[in-house]
Amino acid sequence: MKLAAIYSHPVQYTAPLFRELANRPGVDLMVYFLSRHGLEVSYDPMFGKAFKWDIPLLDGYPHQFVPNVGKDSGVGGFFKLRNLALVDRLRLARHDAVLIHGYEHFAKWPAFAAAKSVGTRIVFHGESHLNEPRTALRTAVKSVLLRSLFRSFDAFGYIGTLNREYFEHYGVPADKLHLTPYTVDNDFFATKVREAKPRRAEIRAMLGITDSAPIILWTAKLTEVKQPELMLRAFAKVRRGRPCHMLFVGDGALRPRIEALVASENIPDVKITGFVNQSRIPEMYAVGDIFAMPSLREPWGLSVNEAMSAGLPVVVSDRVGSSLDLVEQGRNGFIVPFDSVDPLATRLDQLVKDDALRQSFSKRSLEIISRWSVRETADGILAAARGDAK
């Protein structure tokens, strides 16, 4: 099978999937990237700094960078990526199937038409779900446009339960839907965390944590949509009752506000690491005891996958897309309302005070995530690309 994949830019989460697909017998893969964002030092407004990822993102699979008519200075904005040369590449290559991730960039729309024109099967992959708030006008417009667009695609890869409901809402029939679970490289995280565990005390000391009290871990940008202030206020309530630490791993526009609140309200045992690159992220999971993601909006939340691969209990809001697939209430974690401090604090306190409960949740997290791996994602993509009967 000649399989193409079209993605805006290389990221740490897709590289393991592309390697898995490239290694499958009978698969001739080509990945088309529309930008080099993340490979070279560039400014990310949500991180609030310039960076580049420090792990290999291009090794182990065939790929091409398609020239961008616009200035290649990031991937935000519909007209940022106008890679018109992609049309000729798709027509000349005549792939059997093409996996296209999202419709948020101009370059992908001519690609849809080019693939159709040469009989290439289109597999659409997205992340959206219906829990994201929208105006009535936006909802009406999207309904008309997406129902029309989705009728032209041959198959869909849905990342989880909420994403499947989204596609069904816009009229996609069941026989076109294939589960392509949203995944990370579980083996990588499990191995790196296991290697870091013997240095747990050392890493904690480097972070300024010298006691053995549990650490509540956050690995996300410090932005409004992630709700770090709500997280901080929930931690403060827990901390008033018992020893524990709050470790914010990340950076962003709200960092000064969080630091100001910590100082003005005298909240103890709060650490903010700033931006931590991928090679060191497993160390953060190795020292954490509880993972929390109370986001206002989160199409999936791959940090939940990472945390579970590290064997952590997880507490997430009901706006986190992965909640229905990865979080079993009261077994490996808790799902809490997105807009309230008290339920989050209550569940965190429950885990902070009970080491046996954390151990039980840890075991269940590992069991659940073992069935949610890159191998299953590749299986779903290839089934969609072949048009396997459901």
Closest CA to 12 of 47, 55, 44, 46: 55
User: What would the mean pLDDT of 184-190 be, rounded to a whole number?
Assistant: 95
pLDDT tens-digit series, residues 55-77? 889 999 999 999 998 765 567 78
Q: Is 43 exposed, middle or buried (0-12, 13-18, 19+ CB in 10 A)?
A: exposed
Whether residue 274 has pLDDT greater than 60: yes
| Matching residue, tokens 């290839």 | 382
pLDDT tier for residue 52 given thresholds of 50, 70 and 90: confident
Average pLDDT taken over every residue of the chain: 94
Whether residue 46 has pLDDT greater than 80: no
Closest CA to 101 of 16, 33, 54: 33
pLDDT tier for residue 44 given thresholds of 50, 70 and 90: low
Q: Per CATH, which fold does 186-369 belong to?
A: Rossmann fold (3.40.50)
Indicate the domain borders of the chain: 2-183+373-386, 186-369
Q: Under a CB-based contact definition with an 8 Å cutoff, are residues 334 and 353 in contact?
A: no
- Calculate what percentage of the chain has a pLDDT beyond 90: 86
User: What would the mean pLDDT of 362-386 be, rounded to a whole number?
Assistant: 97
Neighbours of 320 (CB within 10 A): 29
pLDDT tier for residue 176 given thresholds of 50, 70 and 90: very high
Q: What's the farthest any 2 CA atoms get from each other in the chain?
A: 66
Q: Is 53 exposed, middle or buried (0-12, 13-18, 19+ CB in 10 A)?
A: middle
Q: Do domains 2-183+373-386 and 186-369 have the same CATH topology?
A: yes
Whether residue 370 has pLDDT greater than 90: yes
Q: Under a CB-based contact definition with an 8 Å cutoff, are residues 322 and 300 in contact?
A: yes
User: What would the mean pLDDT of 246-256 be, rounded to a whole number?
Assistant: 96
pLDDT tens-digit series, residues 193-221? 999 999 999 999 999 999 999 999 999 99
DSSP H or E run through 349: helix 341-352
pLDDT tier for residue 344 given thresholds of 50, 70 and 90: very high
Beta bridge partners of residue 61, listed in sequence order: none
pLDDT tier for residue 40 given thresholds of 50, 70 and 90: confident
Instruction: Note the pLDDT of residue 76.
Output: 76
Q: Under a CB-based contact definition with an 8 Å cutoff, are residues 253 and 48 in contact?
A: yes
**CATH code 3.40.50.2000 for 2-183+373-386:** yes
User: What would the mean pLDDT of 298-326 be, rounded to a whole number?
Assistant: 96
Instruction: Note the pLDDT of residue 47.
Output: 62
pLDDT tens-digit series, residues 137-172? 888 888 899 999 999 999 999 999 999 999 999 999
Closest CA to 68 of 104, 41, 106: 106
Beta bridge partners of residue 157, listed in sequence order: 125, 178
User: What would the mean pLDDT of 2-22 be, rounded to a whole number?
Assistant: 96
Instruction: Note the pLDDT of residue 132.
Output: 74
pLDDT tier for residue 41 given thresholds of 50, 70 and 90: confident
pLDDT tier for residue 43 given thresholds of 50, 70 and 90: low
Beta bridge partners of residue 3, listed in sequence order: 29, 97
